[in-house]
Chain A
Amino acid sequence: MTIHSIFKNIVLSTYRSIDLKKKLIILCIFFAGIHTLNAQSSQATANQIMEKNKALKKPNLVRNSSVLVVFNGLNKEVKEFNVFGKKYGEQSRWRFIFTKPTKMGIIIWSQPEMATIQWLNLSGNIFTKVASSNMHSSFMGSHFYLEDLSDHYLDNDDYRYLGEEVVNNVDCYKIEAKKKKDVMNVYEKKIVYVRKSDYFIIKVDLYEKKGLTKILTFDKIEIIDGVITARKIIMSKSGVDDKSIVYLKEVEFNKPVDDSLFIP
């Protein structure tokens, strides 16, 4: 007789001696315990995966020249812009300068545990602060919200491991990221697909209060100066063909960027 079978016999004989009501209570506690353990372990797994994603190499300085193509029903629109980014400790600052068809810009300051601040920059050096209620507005007529330009912080969401899934022939971890109660965000939850090979996120299903609204896909992934970079970022509207694509035409990391660019 193995130790396992002896243990099993003891447990079963004890169990049989208890009346039915108590048995039910024990069963409930047992399953609740298993469920809690599972939940905790899935949360731990999910957190670990997201931590690994967070740990991926990120540049302190960014410059790129990009093209935004919007497919909207029968309409197609092209906008060209340059992006500059710089890390200031915990805070990251971004400047988008649109060159075609309209010259204007956006400055973004993102910081953990603080609301993102955005300014729109018009000719004549006029700056307009974007109210937090406008984060749901479209970014330059595309399928991106202004909200989508903000940095995303690990602490803003609760994570749950949902399993594994193959996305575009790539093995991925599937993680649910649910917005914490006190966090202001357009999205209620996200389903994040993290590439198993390097923990890089390749797809995000975005859920608002009404359900799944958009799908964000990262494509044409290259390693540039050691940084995993998606050169094609697609934001598709759920359920239809409409989408907006940002192409990172030229990308440079850790090359000097003028601080004055980030001051409104």
Chain B
Amino acid sequence: MNLFFKVILKLVTKRPKMMTAGIFVVTVFFMFGVARLKFETSINYLMPKDNDIYKLGQRADIAFVNSESFIISSIEAVKPYNLFSKEIFSKINEMIQEIEEYKSFDVEKENRRIDLLLNLSGFTRDGVNSVLDKSVKTNGHASEKISDMEAELDQYLLEKPEKVKSRNKDISNILEKNDNSSDSLWDISNSIKRQFEQPLRKRQSYDSSHYKTISLFEIQNKFKESRDENALAELETILYSKKLNVTSDHLLTKNEFEVLLNAWEDIYLFKSMEIVHVFMNPITGNDLIGQNNQIKTIEFIPINSKGVREIPETSAAFDSYQKKIKVNPLNKNFLYSEDATGKIQALAMSVVLKNQESNIKFSEYFISILSKYNKSPLSVNSMGSIVLEKYMSDYMKGDIIKFLPFVLIMIILTFYLNFRSLIGVLLPMLTVVIAGIWTMGLMGFLGIRISLAVSVLPPILLALGTSYSIQMYNQFLIDNIDLNRPDRVEKLIKSMEHISSTVFFAAFTTIISFITLSSSQITSLKHFGIFAAIGAFFSMVVALILIPSGLILIRPRSRTYTSKPVNQVVLGVVSFISYLAQTHTKKVAILFLILNILGAWGITRIKTETAPFEGFKKNSQVRIADDRLNKLFSGTINLTLIIDSGKNNGVLEPDFLKWVDELRTWLNLPENKEKNSILSNYAYTDIIKRVNMAFHSDDIKYFSIPEDKKTLRQYNELLLGEDRDLDGRSDLLEQFVDKDYRRINLIIRTGSYKDRTLSTEGNKNILNIVNKHLENMENKNNYKWFFVGNAVNMQILSDYIVSGQTSNIFISLIMIILIVYYIFRKIKISILSMIPLIGGMTIVYGIMGFLDIPLDIPKVILASIAIGVGIDNTIHFLNTVNFQLNLGNSLHMALEQTYKEAGMAIVYTTLAIILGFIVLIFSNFIPIVSLGLLVAGVMLVTMIGSLLFLPAYIVLSNPKFTITKNSND
């Protein structure tokens, strides 16, 4: 091992300029990768991809559109405004008209808008890229089958009977031959490829070389001239989302206009996908009404003959409007919310999006629309998976921007306290920053997204790098090398060689403890594990190259290091610990045992938590919006219950629908809301019941499932509504029933109720009681069911956290024992090395249990950090004891010397790591805040474990160390 480091160090010290330049070139390269990093906050991204329930969930998204991608917004008037006034409704109408454009794409209108922007600005289209892709996307084998069937049908249906060879066949025979129906979709042993909605054309790039400066006013004026109110609204949304705070007379710079045009292009592409699949709202929404044996669809606010939506003006018109929306029982708590007196206090709109790989970019614009209107006279609170993901993404970005400068300041402080010289700060500082850039850059190039656990990687990388740099630079100072003497290279190589093996083993153990997380089923943890391990490796490599080559190149003067000042406080603490360990050995050992027993008791009280809202602070916008929506509109988290009737068209059987309705009656019991947070539910039965009521002159008595099958089937054929995706079902229906009419999707909305936030435990409780109720229901037709959706996904994640955490700790400890055995060749020392680690983890996890701090995704990495970083101190301590014993010292003398050399370095590196992690308390997420405190705690305890408990047990057990000439290898 030493030979390897010798060769590396020789190369580094022989060609320091080349090595340093190489490091900087690689860093510049990885900087491009950093620029490509993206954030990902969806629960789907975290999910283990081979989990059966997850696979079923993916299939449910295909069969029932993507009911998980929803946004629900409450609309209220702020005091003193009246919700039912022309002023308020005009504002609501503006917002809704802007959103409607994402549902119905008008290619000519949108092209006109872009042309107008180009004509005004002098920008031109770059290349020809606006041709729509009309090529038919055939589905290979399936396409051939359809052609074959079509040929047979042609013959069977159109040829004269005597010419048809197989006349005994009927149409269903022809179609069912080779039929694989939608059953194959639900067969999870088959792989499926998710189809995501594509824009109508590729992204257009624009040439800015002929830009003629224009003001915002000119653009607004042009849109006003063309009476394009929605374009004006879109312009405002872009300015809002891109934070372009400019006045109308502001002359837009080329860059500003480019930002605006690119955003316009983004929106164009989203609109062309008609990304809003379902949009329920109190303005353009509609309902069936039934009168005199006739039913018809009416719009809540119809369009007049001039094509203008007539917003009510008088109180009589608003009364009539309220009556209209109150006819349908389904609209209550879905479209409007009443106060205790029965007066409508808020309206609601909800959006379901088409499938997309990621919603983050779209939500940037969409949430800007909603936020833009969330000011007097309107109050618009929005929630749903898309909003939650966007908040998390924004908060994570905010955290990283906030963390990095804080971490850097803390590290500078630590380096300065330790080394008290400019070089002592700059050189290690560069090392940690460069290793961080390499790791994050590699992630960017590999397309790894920053998810919840990964977001804490930058401070971890900086803290790890700090530890290695401190050890190396400290060794250089201890060995007191004069870099102006001719033998400087040889001396430096010897000094660095001495510490390199310590750094190598420290990095190796850290890599081992992090890499065990790569086996995690949770994507975010897997990525964290892999890239924390790679980061540790990069930190080691950069420290091994940059510190020696930097020292050779800079040649700091001898007085800067020969008189390294010793911090008397730190020295005093270390000396006191040394005194305790060596003179009160038994008491210290007993204290360790007691603390571990208490810790183990605390561990039994730990709960897991994956519910998203638990992670946000109470005063955060997310919690405020969620609370408001739960109060007004019952539920913001979807639990999807798929019920299988067992046969095609089975959904159209009255028995099946009545069975579902019986379940829903139970779900709607007040006790389920109050005790279990089951807040509301929606299903296909609602729609059928509404049609039945309409067919009976809107008599509420008939808000029920019809008795006979024939009527039910006819109602189903009658379910009119836009079918924009041309799949034969109205778009509204697609959320609730599959194409075969075999399965329904019962959407159960859960969420916070009064002051009770929906926790993972609460969520688990809901799953259990609904499942139990289903099992107890009479089920003579043997209907089957399963749960999917975010609520179930949270439960799966929770289970994986517990199982993953246990195996991760176990594997890491085994690996560490083996490594320590490899270093010292003594099993006793291997076992002793576990003392700081096990002590650190047991005590800190025990504290978590006693303080009700739940185990969540970010905290899974706590054990890895405790083991990976904690073992560094342990190895450093044991290695130095071994080194001192090899020098012929007694155990007491060896320990004394170890406290002086390694003890001080251990305190400083621990301090650096603690300071690095303590910045996490400024995070927007409660789990990250508590992670910061817990890592600080675990570092402190493992440090005490290394300096107090470990030496006490060394004294008690007096193990035989490996006495060799060179014990460091």
- Name A's B-contacting residues (CB within 8 A): 67, 69-78, 101-104, 120, 122-123, 126-131, 133-134, 136-138, 140-143, 145-146, 188, 209-214, 220, 231-232, 237-245, 247, 249
- Residue contact B730 to A241, C-beta cutoff 8 Å: no
Q: Closest residue of chain B to A104, judged by CB?
A: B714
Report the nearest A residue to B722, measured CB to CB: A136
Q: Are B294 and A245 in contact (CB under 8 A)?
A: no
Residues of B within 8 A of A211 (CB): 105, 107, 132, 200
Chain B residues numbered 712-744 whose CB sits less than 8 Å from any CB in chain A: 713-714, 716-718, 720-724, 726-730, 739-740
**Which chain A residue has the least Cβ–Cβ distance from B740?**
A75
Residue from B172, B182, B728 having most chain A Cβ neighbours under 10 A? B728
* Complex CA distance for A73 and B721, rounded to whole angstroms: 20
The answer to whether the Cβ of B431 comes within 8 Å of any Cβ in the partner chain is: no
How far, in whole Å, are A133 and B302 apart by their CA atoms in the complex?
10
CA distance A136 to B286 in the complex (A): 14
Bound form: Cα–Cα A204–B171 in Å: 27
Residue in contact with A74 in the complex, picked from B180, B200, B286, CB distance below 8 Å = B180
Q: Are A104 and B728 in contact (CB under 8 A)?
A: no
Q: Which B90-148 residues sit within 8 Å CB-CB of chain A?
A: 104-109, 132-139, 142-143, 146
Which residues on the B side are within 8 Å of A140 (C-beta)? 717
Where the two chains meet, the residues of B that have a C-beta atom closer than 8 Å to any C-beta of A are 104-109, 132-139, 142-143, 146, 149-150, 153-154, 157-158, 171-172, 175, 179-182, 184-185, 200, 272, 274, 286, 293-299, 649, 695, 710-711, 713-714, 716-718, 720-724, 726-730, 739-740
Other 9 A-B pairs with CB < 8 A, given A102-B713, A138-B726, A247-B157: A67-B171, A74-B184, A120-B718, A137-B723, A210-B200, A211-B107, A220-B154, A232-B154, A239-B137
| Interface pair B297/A134, CB less than 8 Å apart | yes
* Most A CB within 10 A of own CB, among B157, B182, B294, B721: B157
- Given A102-B710, A210-B272, CB of A75 within 8 Å of CB of B721: no
With a cutoff of 8 Å between Cβ atoms, the chain A residues found around residue B149 in the complex are 71, 76
When chains A and B are docked, how far (Å) is the Cα of A89 from the Cα of B105? 39
| A-side contacts of B272, CB under 8 Å | 210
B729 & A128 in contact (Cβ 8 Å cutoff):
no
Are A241 and B286 interface neighbours, CB within 8 A? no
State the Cβ distance, B301 to closest chain A Cβ, in Å. Answer: 13
Q: How far is the CA of A141 from the CA of B733 in the complex (A)?
A: 12
26 residue pairs of the A-B complex, CB under 8 angstroms, read: A67-B171, A69-B153, A69-B171, A71-B146, A72-B728, A73-B182, A74-B184, A74-B739, A76-B149, A77-B728, A123-B714, A127-B293, A130-B720, A136-B723, A138-B729, A140-B717, A141-B717, A141-B728, A209-B107, A209-B109, A211-B200, A213-B726, A220-B158, A231-B158, A239-B133, A240-B138
The chain B residue sitting closest to A126, CB to CB, is B293
The reply to whether A134 and B720 form a contact with Cβ atoms under 8 Å apart is yes
Q: Considering the chains assembled together, what is the distance between the CA atoms of A214 and B725 in angstroms?
A: 11
**CB <8 Å contact, A240 and B714:** no
B280 to nearest A CB, angstroms? 16
Query: What total of A-B pairs shows CB separation below 8 Å?
Result: 151
Asked whether B274 lies within 8 Å of A210 as measured between CB atoms, the reply is: yes
- B135 contacts A239, C-beta separation under 8 Å: yes
Inside 8 A of A103's CB, which chain B residues have their CB?
710, 714
Q: B607 → chain A, closest Cβ, in Å? A: 43
A76 to B148 alpha-carbon distance, docked (Å): 14
A241 touches B142 (CB 8 A): yes
Q: Is the CB of B171 within 8 A of A141?
A: no
A134 with B200: CB separation less than 8 A: no
B135 and A123 contacting across the interface, CB-CB below 8 Å: no
| A126 to B179 Cα, complex, angstroms | 37
CB pair B200–A78 under 8 Å, yes or no, is no
For B740, the chain A residues whose CB sits under 8 A away are 75
A105 to B137, CA, bound (A): 35
A232 CA to B158 CA in the complex, in Å? Answer: 8
Q: Which residue of A lies closest to B723 (CB)?
A: A138
Bound form: Cα–Cα A213–B137 in Å: 13
Residues of A within 8 A of B137 (CB): 239-240
- The answer for the CA separation of A244 and B136 in the assembled complex, in Å, is 16
Distance, CA A128 to CA B649, complexed state (A)? 24
Which residues of the partner chain B approach A242 to less than 8 Å between Cβ atoms? 726-727
Q: Which residues of B contact A130 (CB under 8 A)?
A: 296, 720
Give the Cβ gap from A67 to chain B, nearest Cβ, in Å: 6
User: How near does chain A come to B223, taking the closest CB pair, in angstroms?
Assistant: 19
Contact call B105/A210, Cβ cutoff below 8 A: yes
The residues of A that contact B718 with a CB separation of less than 8 Å are: 120, 122, 128
Q: Is the CB of B182 within 8 A of A75?
A: yes
A126 to B717, CA, bound (A): 14
Cα distance, A71 to B182, chains bound together (Å): 12
Which residues of B are found within 8 Å of A231, using beta-carbon distances?
158
CB of B175 within 8 A of CB of A76, answer yes
Query: Quick check: B106 and A210 within 8 Å, CB to CB?
Result: yes
Q: A102-B714, A134-B721 are in contact. Are A249 and B132 (CB under 8 A)?
A: no
Q: Which 9 A-B pairs have the closest CB atoms?
A: A141-B728, A210-B105, A209-B106, A137-B720, A138-B723, A247-B157, A134-B720, A102-B713, A76-B175
CA distance A130 to B286 in the complex (A): 14
Q: Are A249 and B726 in contact (CB under 8 A)?
A: no
User: In the bound complex, how far is the Cα of B290 from the Cα of A129, in angstroms?
Assistant: 11
Q: Which residues of A contact B298 (CB under 8 A)?
A: 131
Report A-chain residues with C-beta under 8 Å of the C-beta of B713: 101-102
Q: Are B143 and A247 in contact (CB under 8 A)?
A: no
- Nearest A residue to B716 via CB reads A102
Q: Give Cα A41 to B142, complex, Å.
A: 46
Q: Which of A127, A209, A240 contacts B294 (CB 8 A)?
A: A127
Q: Is the CB of A141 within 8 A of B296?
A: no
Q: In the complex, are the beta carbons of B299 and A137 less than 8 A apart?
A: no
Q: Is the CB–CB distance between B739 and A69 below 8 Å?
A: no
Contact of A137 among B107, B134, B722 (CB under 8 A): B722
B154 and A210 within 8 A (CB): no
Contact status of A209 and B726, CB under 8 A, knowing A123-B711, A220-B154: no
B717 near A102 with CB under 8 A, answer yes
Which chain A residues lie closer than 8 Å to B105 at the CB level? 209-211
A242–B299 Cα gap in the complex (Å)?
31
Assuming the contacts A74-B181, A245-B153, asked whether A128 and B296 have C-beta atoms less than 8 A apart, the reply is yes
Is there contact, CB below 8 Å, between A73 and B106? no
Is A78's CB under 8 angstroms from B172's CB?
yes
**Chain B hits for A69, CB < 8 A:** 153, 171, 175
Query: Given the complex, which residues of B lie within 8 Å of A145, measured CB to CB?
Result: 723
In the assembled complex, the CB of B930 is this many whole angstroms from the nearest CB of chain A, namely: 47
Distance in angstroms from A17 CB to nearest chain B CB is: 36
Collect the chain B residues with CB atoms within 8 Å of residue A67's CB: 157, 171
